[in-house]
Structure 1
Amino acid sequence: MAIDFTFSMKVFSALFAIMNPIANIPVFLSLTEGLSDGKKRAVAATTFIGVTIGCVVSVTLGEAILKVFGVSIDDFRLAGGLLVLLIALDMVHGSSSAQHTPRQGELGESGYDQDVAIFPLTTPLLVGPGTIATLVVFGHAAAANGEIASLATGLIVFLALLAAALFSAPYLGRFLSVKVMAIASRLMGMILAAIAVEMMVASLTAIFKGLVH
């Protein structure tokens, strides 16, 4: 089965932009401050496993879950594209996304629960509504166009990069300045905005085509 590297790159770029491993390294370090190196690696491993499971479930079962609720993929793609666009605009403006930031009332008394690997690192910081919506749409596109291998390639490469970022966070944190992370976030925001617009245009095209017929 031939791999469409353009589609794989689109999947990788979307996931990299929306999960933004570079910008989340300081978050990881702040949440694991005071822990030993061994415990930090354990948190990184648990986070990586949680993100992997969340991604696989979203890609493989997302559309089936939508059918249970009677929601078409085109309607979901339009809503997902709008949600992803809002996240992208927050990134471009240099502010935290409301969709990927836990509310104060959801946190423990000390700010975060002890098991930070699941909450808030895995969800909502990495596997939030925008991530899930993006994966469901890509999963549908891959199944419809016979590009499962291409989707898997993009997803695996990103997960490998995410694992590297999580496990090397204590080292990378010494070199990532606030200015570098701000520039990277804005660039990823622009890429994510373009992908969001593409999702919405594809959805609107399908919806209006259906109305015409």
Structure 2
Amino acid sequence: MLDLFLSAFVTLFVVIDPPGCAPIYAGLTSGATRPQARSMALRASLIAGIILLIFALFGEHLLGALHIELDAFRIAGGIMLFVIALDMVFEKRTQRREERAEKIKATPEVEDVAVFPMAMPMIAGPGSIATMMLLMSRSQGTAQTLVVLAALAAVLVLTALSLIAAGPLMKLLGTSVEAVITRLLGVLLAALAAQYVIDGLKAVLG
């Protein structure tokens, strides 16, 4: 069970990328007070958690309704995660997030960023939704399902803490350290994505 928890935790941590969300959140909430920023961080993590929980519990039924096999979803999800990994390694993902944040900042009437863009699509985006469905499809029984959900809860707690500490954290780490962390996480995610594709192909060809 510990191996499953660690695997799910690392996968979700890399995909959701709390260190990568922190500088974007710091920029979006630069004009907010600390209590306001803290409140939005908590609500963003909570809303993202609800979205991911819904897909975790009912995503398989949705696939069944669309007549999509889990193995096909594993392969497609793995390819999607690999593309995200490439973006992380070459910093395209960070660039897109920053561009999205600038668009939000340029719209004066948008003040609360908890739901958009933080909860969705930055935290509960296509990659994290696909990852949750993949992890749930591989878990067998109630015990393993609870372990995966516990890993999700742990990552969301870390995400909330990262957002709350976003401003001071960015001053402490600096942009160069953030870039190194993002690239390392990208390489790890690429390996995990390849494993998803291999598992799917084994099931289909075997």
TM-score, with structure 1 as normaliser: 0.87
Q: CA deviation at 1:150?
A: 2.4
CA distance in 2, matches of 1:60, 1:99: 30
Residue number among 134, 145, 161 corresponding to 2:158 in the alignment: 161
More off after superposition, 39-48 vs 108-117: 108-117
- Give the match for residue 6 of structure 1: 3
Structure 1 pair 149–99 and aligned structure 2 pair: CA distance change class (3 A): farther
1:69 matches 2:66:
yes
1:175 matches 2:202:
no
Q: CA deviation at 1:103?
A: 6.3
The answer to whether the 8 A contact 2:60-2:133 is kept is yes
Percent of aligned pairs with the same amino acid = 28
The runs of 5 or more residues in structure 1 that have no matched partner are none
CA distance in 2, matches of 1:206, 1:112: 50
Structure 1 pair 100–32 and aligned structure 2 pair: CA distance change class (3 A): closer
- Give the match for residue 17 of structure 1: 14
CA distance in 2, matches of 1:11, 1:173: 27
- Give the match for residue 78 of structure 1: 75
CA distance in 1, matches of 2:27, 2:164: 14
Any idea what SS the aligned residue of 2:68 has? coil
Any idea what SS the aligned residue of 1:96 has? helix
The runs of 5 or more residues in structure 2 that have no matched partner are none
Any idea what SS the aligned residue of 1:173 has? helix
Residues 117-132 of structure 1 aligned to structure 2 (within 5 Å): 117-132=114-129
The answer to whether the 8 A contact 1:14-1:192 is kept is yes
The answer to whether the 8 A contact 2:45-2:160 is kept is yes
CA distance in 1, matches of 2:109, 2:135: 32
CA distance in 2, matches of 1:100, 1:87: 12
Residue number among 87, 91, 100 corresponding to 2:88 in the alignment: 91
CA distance in 2, matches of 1:73, 1:112: 42
Structure 1 pair 108–82 and aligned structure 2 pair: CA distance change class (3 A): same
State the 4+ residue runs in structure 1 displaced beyond 4 angstroms: 97-104, 106-109
CA distance in 1, matches of 2:71, 2:94: 24
Structure 1 pair 186–150 and aligned structure 2 pair: CA distance change class (3 A): same
CA RMSD of aligned residues (A): 2.4
- Aligned partner letter, 2:133: V
- Aligned partner letter, 1:187: L
| Corresponding residue pairs, total | 205
- Aligned partner letter, 1:52: G
Q: Which structure has greater helix proportion?
A: 2
Residues 50-69 of structure 1 aligned to structure 2 (within 5 Å): 50-69=47-66
Q: CA deviation at 1:206?
A: 1.0
- Aligned partner letter, 2:63: L
More off after superposition, 135-144 vs 83-92: 135-144
TM-score, with structure 2 as normaliser: 0.90
The answer to whether the 8 A contact 2:26-2:163 is kept is no
Structure 1 pair 167–158 and aligned structure 2 pair: CA distance change class (3 A): same
- Give the match for residue 192 of structure 1: 189
